[in-house]
């Protein structure tokens, strides 16, 4: 029986009054009971007293639901859906991605486990249209481009902004949702490429402990534990643990030092009053890193290719270079069902991100030495704290003979950011930087801000099978800076979203959508003489979504055009904040995810992108205030780090007797690395325009596993053909980071 058919059977046996939905990651926990506690959101909004009569009526309905007989097939809904994501909250309410009039890619827990994925970055290799940036100029940590636009302002965890500079792990993730296109109306300030939302694991209704241990080449060791324990019928706790150590095929020939990962994580989620009209979750997570960062190899200005004067396995770091971080988040969540069709969801989060690193940049022709005297030094100490309060209200009703689905909400975000370089206790030939030991000279960059937002969106079925969506959001940001020239900023902007959807059948969805976004990037840059105009983006998208094979296989296609004005430079150290005045990406995306048969699963996508600079940058000199323009020859050139194509495929097949085989490929076209904001000459080679360029590549992976009810053995081989490829580029053109060579990992998983 297909996963979709099982859910249809369950739905047909549920009471007419639907229960409160738990967070994504607990898909099977959907039974209604009475509320006994005042909701967190109601305490914050006294005006909710007007809904008290509805709550009483719902309590009576919940009592009736408790008396219904148990549904025997309920456990099927708790099983994973394989490679197709069936629920998401990127539209602000829990729904099937199929119903959202915008392109959505969901990376499921099953996909990440089959691929032995540890980091968010590795998981995102499954997303078509994505490319990776190297970490120069202070933009260290997870740093990706989507549809050719950077995403460092579009990272979210459970719908709450998570834009700090750090490396994210997947041990506590149920899934990863990528909402493509401008998402400012739903999420606030952001870019044109899309929103990357991580979905945390939360308590389930059944007891289970899953322990996994992995060992592999290049010093790979990882252990994880996922412990779920119901305490009673309304209370449960879930604990996830992780420790991972990993080496590299690259090393310093003088000392043997190599890039390393040493990461630990702990996440605890306590669910209270579950499966009632008034649910609570208390979530806390903490992760630490103690890495040795790798900034790759230099481009050769004579060839515009990755340098070959020195071997690709040379690493310029030492035994003392480091990347240390400590990230802590505590989140309180309340879902309060006001009636059979309306709900208030409240989230309050306190987050603290601390990080300090010293990385060595490469040299084209001089090999590294043991003292770290060759190559540049990138150092940083940062502390970023946020307090976020979100209240989202949703309701379904009929008015004027039409069906309405309304979502609305308010948001408050408090940010406090601090960053400064580190003190060199050594010398230029023998540098000695130490974690969190800030430089005595210079001034720290400080930034505090209060942001407020209000939004409302309505989806109306104005005639059968046709829906129209319209939404508006207003954001206000009041910030204070350490800058002496622009110490304050008051910024307000409105964002919009509109779509027309046609559903000729339940399993078919055609849509035309438009959305926009904005970003003052004030949280990233030290403002100078005067604030520059905010980034503004507009995206139009024509798409289609199909559910085949009784809903087990999802297909989607999208044609889009994304245009951005006043595009910012991703490099915090750049003297020119504006990268281009106007640029555009036109693209086509095709994706498939799900089950072709009971034995055969597939997840894949292709993205074709045409990214061009339409108008060159205009920058304000930080001292004189004079406006400077970039070289006009950059107009019409391809945007940086945007491959013309990307292709990804992962597929598994059950052979029988517990055996499963799988494999896949990740391919990307060549990518330019250039800063088009300067007034100097454009880069050329043999008289033709040619910036530094990372060549196209295809990386193949393979997997074989033996699975039983309680335990699994799995062997993963990554980069099966030992391809030398260049994974990430520093946008401004200095260097590129080689990807991993062939590696093997053997994992054992046990459930009890």
pLDDT at 573: 64
| Local confidence band at 348 (pLDDT 50, 70, 90 cut-offs) | very high
Tell me if 443 is assigned to some domain.
yes
- Number of domains forming the structure of the chain: 1
* 518 vs 197 pLDDT, higher one: 197
The answer to whether residues 727 and 739 touch, using CB atoms and an 8 Å cutoff, is yes
From CA 653, how far away is CA 391, in angstroms rounded?
43
Please give the C-alpha separations between residue 266 and each of 20, 50, 173, 181, in angstroms, as whole numbers: 28, 41, 12, 33
- Indicate whether 597 belongs to any domain: no
d(CA 570, CA 579) in angstroms, rounded, equals 8
Q: What is the pLDDT of residues 504-553, one digit of tens each?
A: 999 999 999 999 998 887 655 555 566 778 889 999 999 999 999 999 99
Answer yes or no: is 262 within a domain: yes
d(CA 111, CA 648): 13
Q: Identify whether 207 is part of a domain.
A: yes
CA pair distance 266, 176, nearest whole angstrom: 19
Structural domain contains residue 589: no
DSSP 296: -
Is 180 inside a domain boundary?
A: yes
Q: Which of 70-79, 516-525, 743-752 ranks highest by mean pLDDT? A: 743-752
**Would you say residue 176 has pLDDT above 60?**
yes
As a whole number, the mean pLDDT across the chain is: 88
Which is nearest to 335 in space by CA: 614, 576, 89, 505? Answer: 89
Q: What per-residue confidence (pLDDT) applies to 533?
A: 82
Rounded to whole angstroms, the Cα distance separating 662 from 701 reads: 9
Do 174 and 203 form a contact (C-beta atoms < 8 A)?
Answer: no
Q: Is residue 588 assigned to a domain?
A: no
Half-sphere exposure of 43 (CA within 13 A, CB side): 10
Query: Of residues 474 and 485, which shows the higher confidence score?
Result: 474
pLDDT of the residue at 309:
96
Give the pLDDT band of residue 668 (cuts 50, 70, 90).
very high
Tell me: pLDDT of 67 over 90.
no
Residue 596 within a domain: no
Q: Residue by residue, what is the 3-state secondary structure of 665-722?
A: EEEECCEEECCCCCCCCCCEECCEECCEEECCEEEEEEEEEEECCCEEEEEEEECCCC
Which CATH number do you get for residue 505?
Answer: 2.40.170.20
Mean pLDDT of 44-72: 38
Quote the pTM value. 0.89
Average pLDDT score over residue span 10-25: 40
Per the structure, the complete domain to which residue 192 belongs is given by 3-550+561-583+604-659+666-673+681-751
Q: Which whole number is the average pLDDT over 478-498?
A: 86
- At residue 11, does pLDDT exceed 60? no
């Amino acid at each position: 029986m297909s996963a979709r058919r099982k859910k249809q059977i369950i739905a047909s046996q549920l009471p007419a009054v639907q229960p409160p939905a738990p967070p994504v990651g607990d898909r099977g926990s959907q039974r209604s009971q009475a509320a006994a506690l005042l909701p967190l959101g109601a305490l914050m909004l006294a005006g909710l007293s007007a809904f008290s009569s509805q709550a009483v009526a719902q309590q009576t309905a919940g009592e009736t639901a408790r008396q219904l007989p148990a549904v025997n097939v309920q456990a099927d809904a708790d099983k994973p859906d394989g490679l197709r994501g069936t629920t998401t909250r990127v539209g602000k309410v829990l729904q099937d991605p199929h119903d959202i009039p915008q392109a959505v890619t969901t990376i499921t827990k099953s996909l990440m486990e089959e691929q032995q994925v540890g980091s968010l970055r590795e998981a995102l290799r499954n997303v078509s249209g994505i490319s990776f940036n190297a970490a120069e100029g202070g933009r260290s940590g997870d740093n990706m481009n989507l549809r050719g636009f950077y995403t460092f302002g579009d990272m979210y965890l459970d719908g709450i902004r998570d834009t700090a500079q750090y490396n994210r792990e997947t041990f506590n993730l149920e899934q990863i949702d990528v909402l493509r296109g401008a998402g400012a109306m739903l999420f606030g300030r952001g870019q044109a490429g899309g929103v990357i939302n991580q979905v945390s694991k939360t308590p389930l209704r059944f007891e289970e402990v899953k322990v996994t241990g992995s060992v592999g080449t290049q010093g790979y060791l990882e252990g994880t534990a996922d412990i779920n324990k119901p305490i009673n019928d309304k209370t449960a706790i879930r604990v996830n643990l992780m420790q991972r150590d990993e080496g590299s095929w690259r090393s310093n020939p003088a000392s043997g030092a190599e890039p390393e990962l040493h990461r630990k994580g702990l996440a605890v989620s306590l669910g209270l009053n579950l499966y009632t009209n008034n649910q609570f979750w208390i979530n806390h997570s903490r992760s630490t890193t103690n890495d040795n960062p790798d900034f790759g190899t230099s481009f050769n200005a004579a060839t515009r290719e990755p340098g070959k004067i020195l071997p690709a396995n040379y690493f310029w770091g030492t035994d003392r270079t480091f990347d240390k971080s400590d990230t802590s988040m505590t989140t309180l969540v309340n879902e309060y069902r006001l009636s059979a069709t309306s709900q208030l969801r409240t989230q309050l989060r306190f987050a603290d991100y601390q990080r300090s690193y010293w990385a060595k940049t490469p040299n084209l022709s001089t090999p590294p030495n043991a003292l770290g005297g060759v190559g540049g030094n990138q150092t940083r100490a940062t502390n970023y704290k946020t307090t976020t309060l979100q209240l989202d209200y949703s309701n379904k009703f009929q008015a004027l003979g039409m069906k309405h689905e309304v979502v609305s909400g308010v948001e408050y975000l408090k940010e406090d950011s601090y960053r400064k370089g580190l003190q060199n206790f050594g010398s230029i030939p023998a540098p000695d930087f130490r974690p969190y030991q800030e430089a005595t000279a210079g001034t720290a960059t400080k930034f505090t801000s209060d942001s407020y937002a209000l939004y409302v969106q309505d989806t109306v079925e104005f005639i059968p099978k046709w829906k129209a969506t319209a939404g508006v959001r207003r954001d206000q940001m009041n910030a204070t800076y350490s800058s002496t020239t622009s110490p304050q900023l008051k910024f307000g902007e409105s964002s919009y979203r509109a779509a027309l959807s046609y559903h000729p059948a339940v399993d078919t969805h055609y849509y035309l959508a438009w959305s926009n976004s904005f970003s003052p990037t004030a949280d990233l840059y030290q403002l100078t003489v005067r604030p520059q105009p905010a980034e503004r983006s507009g995206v139009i998208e024509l798409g289609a979504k199909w559910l085949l094979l009784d809903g087990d296989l999802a297909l989607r296609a999208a044609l889009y055009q994304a245009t951005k004005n006043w595009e910012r430079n991703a490099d915090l150290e750049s003297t020119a904040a504006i990268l281009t005045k106007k640029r555009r990406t036109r693209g086509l995306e095709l994706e498939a995810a799900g089950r072709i048969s009971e034995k055969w699963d597939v997840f894949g996508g292709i993205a074709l992108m045409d990214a061009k600079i339409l108008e060159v940058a205009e920058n304000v000199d930080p001292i004189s205030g004079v406006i400077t323009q970039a070289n006009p020859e950059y107009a019409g050139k391809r945007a940086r780090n945007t491959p013309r194509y990307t292709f990804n495929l992962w597929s598994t097949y059950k052979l029988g007797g517990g055996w499963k085989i799988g494999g896949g490929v990740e391919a990307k076209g060549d990518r330019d690395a250039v800063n088009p904001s300067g007034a100097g000459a454009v880069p050329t080679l043999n008289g033709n325009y040619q910036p530094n360029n990372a060549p196209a590549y295809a990386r193949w992976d393979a997997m074989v596993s033996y699975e039983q009810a309680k335990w699994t053995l799995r062997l993963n081989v990554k980069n099966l053909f030992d391809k030398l490829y260049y994974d990430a580029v520093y946008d401004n053109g200095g260097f590129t980071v080689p990807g991993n060579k062939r590696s093997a990992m053997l994992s054992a998983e046990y459930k009890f």
